Structure 1
Amino acid sequence: MRTLDIYNFGPIKQTHLELQKINIFIGPQSSGKSCILKTLCHCAWAEKLLMVTHDVNMFAQDEYFLKQLLAFHKMYGYESTNTKISFSSSFLSFTYDNSTKSFECEFKKSNTNRFKRAKLSYIPAERNIVSIIPNIMTLSLRQDNTQSFIVDWDKARNKFATSQMNVVNVGVTYHFDDKSKTDFVKLPTGKDIELTNASSGVQSVVPLLVHIESLTNRTYDNDLRDSATIIQNKNCLERLYKSRIKDTKNAKVTTRISDDLYYFKTKEDAEEFKIIAENYTEYRYSDIYIEEPEENLFPNTQCDLLKSLVSSLGDNQLTIATHSPYMLSTFNNFILAGQIDKKRTCNSIALKAGTYAVYYIEDGIATDIVDKETKLINAEKLDAVSFDIQNEFNKLLGYDEDCR
């Protein structure tokens, strides 16, 4: 379990989150859903970098933690004098306090060997920019979450130069022409059109699905070869090796990792260290953050998209910020399917209790809306807007306000 506490940051006043494998944030416009999503993603990035480098001083100097958050996630102006962010996982706990400009971190050394490096991906609401602007890779963009997504998208779409992808239930398929560097969708008539000429829903969902496919199928093995990362990984392995191997005088076994030889007394020690080394230096799973996955989609397609996202998740992690009660109701069906006989699930996805968290964000506060007894989502939060509309309808007819 990971926990996140945010104080006085953007629209968030004070909130505590207990996070699981799948997390959903829902609430009114500008309530703070994306603020939480971005902050959590940033904390996951900080956790990964701290575990690999153990360089707390880097985050403590010159407000590095906060400055990186504001720049990468385009959140300038969200900070205040009293902003405070605390994060805790199985591997470490850290707190940034803007009132003192301090960053404090404590490592949980007993869990060091269990760490696995995550491929982090923030998929922003403006992801359809890759559909709207042809040859977007030729443009010079700022180093932020949009630019990072564009780079990942460009890598992911190359897989579909030799295959096609069905686009949920919209009746089209996607493919990429690597010669012209052009994205196409095939219509039900069999005709190809450029993605930039497709409907707004297709332009929004194709970049999302293409990237998710690469993340959940782990086609990112070669993403760690830049010079800075190579140096980081080399230093990380040396630190891990020194912390485990105190004496190599009687070493009889050698193993090669990242072009370097390491010495061990037994074959078992060598194999164990190699697994730990790979977990630190290679991506072992994806940690995915999606802003408004329902963007420009009809309700039925929203539901099918969520089914696609959750069914393909495997042992990866997923966190979503959404406005859609349809997605929330669909997710509640997944929860219920996990509680009843499989024969009655109508081919629904089944989720186990303890693998998900759902929070309603309003007035700067996050409220856990999963019922402690039933483990289902609080019915009043599933579609509060529909209740308000129905109340207005009842008033127009002269019915009692509470008649539902």
Structure 2
Amino acid sequence: MTDYANVGTTTPSSGRMLSDMEDVHEDHEQPHPIEEEQEEPEEEEGVMLALDSPQIQAALEACKILVIGAGGLGCEILKNLALTGFKEIHVIDMDTIDLSNLNRQFLFRPKDVGQPKATVAAEFVMQRVPGVKIVPYFGKIQDKDDEYYSQFQIVICGLDSIEARRWINAKLVEMIDEEDPQSLKPLIDGGTEGFKGQARVILPTINSCYECSLDMFNKPTTFPICTIANTPRLPEHCIEWASVLEWPRVWGKDTKYDTDNPEHISWLYRTATERAEKFNISGVTYSLTQGVVKNIIPAIASTNAIIAASCCNEVFKIATGSPYLDNYMMYTGNDGIYTYTFQHQKKPECPVCGQIAASAELDREMSLEDLIESLKERPDVQLKRPSLRTASKSLYMQAPPALEEATRPNLEKKLEDLIEAGEYITVTDVALPVSIQLKVSWKE
């Protein structure tokens, strides 16, 4: 593996980059005689090398990159990395190309609709950029094991899913071996939301990880059950009714719809349309149904381009041993162009990279059900269906059904009847890649 720390320490003072500038002027007048008499300056110490220098080319060729996501951000990232000079790139995406993607995901064409994004994007870039090898995988990041992820030097994310980000963040932290420096895989994460975006550099176990900053992200918009059940007024109310109330009634509460399954989305769309017609509500569309159930924020091509460029710039700096972002850049393009970079602090009690358990000062009179609801409202963990247990017993388990039924009576019990001060509660959840440890103390 190339020693990136020693790359990028000298530069020719002439500052030639990418190509010989003489070629541009071959049809113009010759330079002034005084310029012809100047001697070529000697190399001197500097801060960076020309992009076409052998040292930088060697560093880029030795660096194997994993790109997660081949959508709006992913297309930009793949193009940027290939044109920068990285020679081996792998890309993972579980989605297929939809007609609505074509306005901003420029690697795709109408003939590609229905095809895997990862496969089409890889083939397109390899056709346009000779010498680059892009290996696609059509599937989930959870399909791959530690051995797969260990082959890469850098991982870069262009995802629209918080759950997927949390999973890969936890996986890279979990893979750290203090005896093996190569087990540390820098994670470059980009995200966009309309005219806003962010790019960040995560060094697992060293600086703030994705889970440390979870409370910075807004929780998905929700609607009161009474409104969607009785007095819907918006197309979103009808879609929520179809997904929250009708789906479990028709298919069973243990059967969860898959937001990436076109058949499931089509069922929700048809059901929401029937509901909307009953209440004379217009505006229910297939794309809106997708947007509501997947909490999709409209994407803007210019924002994707800016954030992808920032992410790829950080990848290039890490690969060539240059100073990189420390560690969080926020971008806003609503009323102009504004960026702000700051160091997000690592949380000692972070469930993924922290070293200590979070303390929980609880009311001994509150019920276990109230505790579970309060955990679901916490912005720093964003739980969906938490299960709780102590070292000696299960307090409440969401699954399997037999265990859920056995622990259900505990929901109405007071906490002081179930646990003692100083005990640890282990919280697991489908939305959480690892467990949370809560050290209990009582409010006085």
Instruction: Give TM-score scaled by structure 1 length.
Output: 0.25
**Structure with bigger RCO (C-alpha 8 Å, 6+ apart):** 1
Instruction: Give TM-score scaled by structure 2 length.
Output: 0.23
